[in-house]
Structure 1
Amino acid sequence: MLATALVDRIGSGLWASVSVLYFTYVSGLSVARIGTLAAVAGAIGIAGAPIGGRLADRFPLTRVLIAVQLLRALASSALLVTDHYALLLVSTSLGGLGDRAASVLTKLYATRVAGPDRVRYQAVHRTLANAGWAIGGLAATAALALGTTAAYQWLLAGDALSFVAAALLTMRCGEPQSTRRMVATSKDPSPATKPTNPWGDRTYLAYVATETVLFLDDAVFKVGLPLWIAHASDAPQGLAPLLLVLNNVMVVALQVPLARFGATTTAARRLLIPLSAAFVLGGATMGLSATGGAVSAALLLTASACAFTLAEMLHATVSWELSVALAPDTAQGAYLGVHGLAQSAQRSVGPLAVTAAIAAGPIGWASFGTAIGLTCMIQHRVVRDRLTGPALSVPSITVSEH
């Protein structure tokens, strides 16, 4: 499954770098139509997380994941054969649905196969995914130098083929035993101590609501930093892509080492305190970058990028552990599907939040970081009572990666 993540993200890196350009120069869409396309795909994609989670609780996980990968391949391939706007809407929407479902399913796979080592497994998985994304992005940059329609089409074809390859690799992975099956076959099952329907679980829903806020670091790098550098600081314009590279390099280098600090449920909850500080520091240095000259702006923006990247990595570690530890053993898929809504919702809310921070100036960024820092402390309190019991532990199994 780790090899699958690498192949999947190489393909995604190929497409993410050129999607807007493809729709502009190959499909001939206006800016308004491209924006609508992205918005509709994002909105429909939100449903992918809970749907994927529910299906994984009812059917073999690897089979569901294979079907989702093939759906993504079909959606990408369809873009190659039509410029009709309605069909483009359908294809991108199916792709968004599959993307969010695949994200939840791979996380659930890690939960079942790695058991108590799930945080480290997810850290390795994320490191490989970031490396794949970077490889795909570099390949796309090289192809864009050609500037031809054929080059764009080959990049999109590469994206589709990566999903087919990911499906083939998934076929070679062993099916992990679900906790639902383990509980059902137990001779002495323990009584349920947690709700089994995430939509009726107020504690989990409150936790997911705080997660939506904590995921805002994603919008900082995709929207906030480039716009802030362009419109409100004296830093050179070329700093924006360099800071994105810095973010990627830090994640690849440090995500696995940092994961050991959240290897248990108690440790993961404890990490919410330094996570809060990292968000506050990131917002403060971002705001201060607009108050000096070019050199100080560049230094403060670099410090802010480092702080937000640290927050990103710490939050990933905390999220991997708590999202599972708060869920009942027999409904992991359904619960992780609901948790996946946090990241999906952030994709819509995030750009609005960071543009509001930019509009408010330096105080806006300070407030942005402080608000997320306070949300970390709220989450620390929300999950406290639920985590008094033992953390989930799933026996690991051997999975073929050959």
Structure 2
Amino acid sequence: MHIPGGPDGRRMLAVTFVDKTGSGLWAATAALYFTYVAGLGTAEIGLLLGVSGAAGIAGPPLGGLLADRVPLRPLLAGVQLLRAAASLALLTTTDLPLLTAIAAAGSLGDRASSVLTKLYATRIAGPDRSRYQAVNRTVSNLGWAVGGLVAAAALTTGTTATYRWLLTGDALSFVAIALLTLRCGEPPSPARVVATGGKGARAGAPAAGERTPALAAGEKTLAPAAGENTAAPGPSPWRDRRYLAYTATEAVLFLDDSVFNVGLALWAVTATTLPHGLVPLLLVLNNVLVVCFQVPFARFGSTPAKARRTLLPLAAAFLTGAAALAASATGTRWLAATTLILAAVAFTVAEMLHATVSWELSVALAPPTAQGAYLGVHGLAQAAQRSAGPLAVTGAIAAGPLGWLGLGAGLAVICLAQRRLTRDDDGTAMSVPGLTVSEH
């Protein structure tokens, strides 16, 4: 399989696999660790996770802002070491305030790492970024599965030492990916481009409206001298009303995450006749479909225009999944099983389509000289969804079948709104005319 980005692209896929394997170890045991090792109660665990999650919201914009000002590779490695230090520090105390502060630092690093990894991939993959993202999501799902299986096997012992070793494994995975990251090259930056045949002259930032020159064969990035200003400050995403509105729509479309993590299982066991033992198989089906089809789905977002057109089938997938969930509560066990499988497939299709569309449009709408800052703001969409998404999904469950139909209709309307939002005034393309991230 061709991997965009060459050797660095392959190394970053290894980073993703090791990262998600370690994260799978911790995700499967976090609540148990805080309960049986740290001795926290349910309310205390909820407070710890809530506060640390809120602190992590600052990670994407902070990481993206720094990425436009300093070399990306050492910044990403440093963030991974922050995550490692936070994981190891959890082993040193059972005090709730200290655990909360440590978890907050880890959450900050985790969210920053996500946007910095995406930015690195964007810079090395160029016009093949959609395919790279698809391969990356496939590897990510494999890593989560491996980590979860290892954790499940280890937890059969049920000892506190096992929980500590799993957390240690998570920390060591961050050290490993920091070392792997340092083996990668510094990706080309729009503000630091020179030709090897020249005398080291540095290309400055493009003037307003000017296309950034492409990196041709034989070109490389030039690290700035000590004290040198690498580029004039790029435009601020906080003043870009279109990008902020786009990010707000993204926060809604990321609800597929809460549907799978919260809604599907809760609805199946409270509102349908499906045997409880079959519920985990719906999540397995989601993972299998992503691993098998995310890469082929990359073609739906290979250009900004294709990504924008894909918002229509994305709306249809959301409507189909929501309608299937509504129907699952109105019949026999066989009808419940059939409609829940249909819902899982439809929401998985929506997940894969949205991942492809989101990757392409979030980059295409960002000016090259401020990619980091813009993608950092875009990262707030997922952070906001993780906080508000479970409330929206449980609200739909409380409202019954009509709640799911309303949620599906709302998601479809947001797809149509985003399609209109991301067109140019002539109704054809994107807000950054004729520019792709390959043009550094």
TM range (shorter): over 0.9
Q: Return the alpha-carbon distance in structure 1 between the equivalents of residues 292 and 144 of structure 2.
A: 15
2:416 is the counterpart of 1:377: yes
Identify unmatched segments of 5+ residues in structure 2: 1-11, 195-200, 212-233
Distance 1:216 1:193, change over 3 A: farther
Q: Which amino acid aligns with 1:26?
A: V
Give the superposition deviation at 1:181: 2.4
What residue number does 1:266 align with?
305
Q: For residues 370 and 391 of structure 1, what CA distance do their matches in structure 2 show?
A: 33
Cα deviation digits, residues 179-230 of structure 1 (max 9, x gap): 1324994479452389811000000000000000000000001100111112
Tell me how far 1:153 sits from its aligned partner.
0.8
**1:166 pairs with 143, 160, 177, which one?**
177
**Equivalence map 1:248-287=2 (5 Å):** 248-287=287-326
Instruction: Compare 186-195 and 232-241 and name the one that shifted more.
Output: 186-195
For 2:302 and 2:193, the matched residues in 1 are separated by 23
CA distance in 1, matches of 2:185, 2:403: 49
| Alignment match, 1:176 | 187
* Structure 1 residues 274 and 391: alpha-carbon distance in aligned structure 2, compared to 1, 3 A threshold: farther
2:27 aligned with 1:16: yes
Taking structure 1 as the reference length, the TM-score comes to 0.96
Equivalent position of 2:219 in the other structure: none
Could you tell me which residue of structure 1 aligns to residue 160 of structure 2? 149
Asked whether 1:100 is paired with 2:143, we answer no
SS at match of 1:83: coil
| Partners of 2:25 and 2:191 in 1: CA distance | 37
Which has the bigger relative contact order, CA under 8 A and spacing at least 6? 1
Contact 2:88 2:167 in 1 (8 A): yes
Whole-angstrom CA distance in 1 between matches of 2:40 and 2:111: 25
CA contact (8 A) 2:191 2:204 kept: no
Distance 1:187 1:336 in 2: 22
Give me the whole-angstrom Cα distance separating, in 2, the residues matched to 1:20 and 1:356. Answer: 24
Checking the alignment, whether the CA contact within 8 Å between 2:191 and 2:203 is kept in structure 1 is no
In the alignment, structure 1 residue 191 sits paired with structure 2 residue 208: yes
Q: Distance in 2 between matches of 1:188 and 1:181?
A: 8
Separation (CA, whole Å) in 2 of partners of 1:380 and 1:152? 46
Cα distance, 1:262 vs. partner? 1.2
Distance 2:204 2:275 in 1: 66
Q: Does residue 65 of structure 1 match 2:76?
A: yes
Matched, 1:392 2:403: no
Give, as a single letter, the amino acid of the residue that structure 2 aligns with 1:126: R
Alpha-carbon distance between aligned partners in 2 of 1:395 and 1:240, rounded to the nearest angstrom: 46
Work out whether residues 49 and 103 of structure 1, in 8 Å CA contact, stay in contact via their aligned partners in 2: yes
Stretches of structure 1 that go unaligned for 5 or more consecutive residues are: 397-402
Q: In structure 2, do the counterparts of structure 1 residues 311 and 188 end up closer, same or farther at CA, with 3 Å as the change threshold?
A: closer
**Contact conserved, 1:7 with 1:162, CA < 8 A, in 2?**
yes
Deviation by residue 1:34-80 (Cα, 9 ceiling, x = unmatched): 00111011100000000000111111101110010000001110111
> Normalising to structure 2: TM-score of the pair?
0.88
Correspondence 1:281-320 to 2 at 5 A: 281-320=320-359
- 1:29 maps to amino acid: L
Deviation by residue 1:155-190 (Cα, 9 ceiling, x = unmatched): 101000000000010010000011132499447945
Amino acid aligned to 1:291:
T
Query: In the aligned structure 2, how far is the partner of 1:326 from the partner of 1:265?
Result: 9
Question: Is 1:241 matched with 2:280?
Answer: yes
Q: 2: distance between equivalents of 1:36 and 1:393?
A: 40
Q: Which residue in the other structure is 2:8 paired with?
A: none
- Which residue of structure 2 aligns with residue 79 of structure 1? 90
Structure 1 window deviating more from structure 2 (175-184 vs 322-331): it is 175-184
User: Secondary structure, in 3 states, of the residue corresponding to 1:238?
Assistant: helix
Which residue, out of 314, 325, 337, partners 2:364? 325
AA at the equivalent of 1:21: L
8 A contact 1:265–1:391 mirrored in 2? no
Name the aligned partner's letter for residue 339 of structure 2.
Answer: L
The number of residue pairs the alignment matches comes to 396
Q: Following the alignment from structure 1 to structure 2, what is the Cα–Cα distance between the partners of residues 367 and 17?
A: 32
**Take 1:72 and 1:91, find their aligned partners in 2: how far apart are those partners?**
10
**Equivalent of residue 146 in structure 2, options 124, 135, 151:** 135
Aligned residue for 1:47?
A: 58
Q: Which stretch of structure 1 is more off in the superposition, 136-145 or 385-394?
A: 385-394
Which residue of structure 1 lines up, in the alignment, with residue 214 of structure 2?
A: none
Distance (Å, rounded) in 2 between the aligned partners of 1:376 and 1:188: 35
Report the 3-state secondary structure (helix = DSSP H, G, I; strand = E; otherwise coil) of the residue aligned with 2:276.
coil
Give the 3 Å change call, closer, same or farther, for CA 187–331 of structure 1 in structure 2.
closer
**Which of the pair is proportionally richer in helix?**
1
Native 8 Å contact 1:113 1:395 kept in 2 = no
What SS does the aligned partner of 2:359 have? helix
RMSD (Å), alpha carbons? 1.7
CA distance in 1, matches of 2:170, 2:301: 34
Question: Which consecutive segments of 4 or more residues in structure 1 shift more than 6 A?
Answer: none
Deviations 1:298-324 (A, max 9, x none): 110010000000000000000000001
Contact 1:288–1:300 (Cα < 8 Å) also in 2: yes
The residue aligned with 1:399 is none
1:101, 1:188 → 2: CA distance? 25
Instruction: From the superposition, tell whether residues 47 and 188 of structure 1 become closer, same or farther in structure 2 (CA, over 3 Å).
Output: closer
Contact residue 221 and residue 244 of structure 1 kept, 8 A: yes
| 2:123 and 2:437 in contact (8 A); partners too | no
Aligned partner of 2:99 in structure 1 is: 88
Decide which of 340, 345, 349 is 2:388's aligned counterpart: 349
The question of whether the paired residues in 2 share the 8 Å contact of 1:180 and 1:331 is answered with no
- Is contact 2:368-2:437 (8 Å) kept? no
Same amino acid, percent of matched pairs: 63
Deviation at 1:391, TM superposition (A): 3.6
Matched residue type, 1:192: G
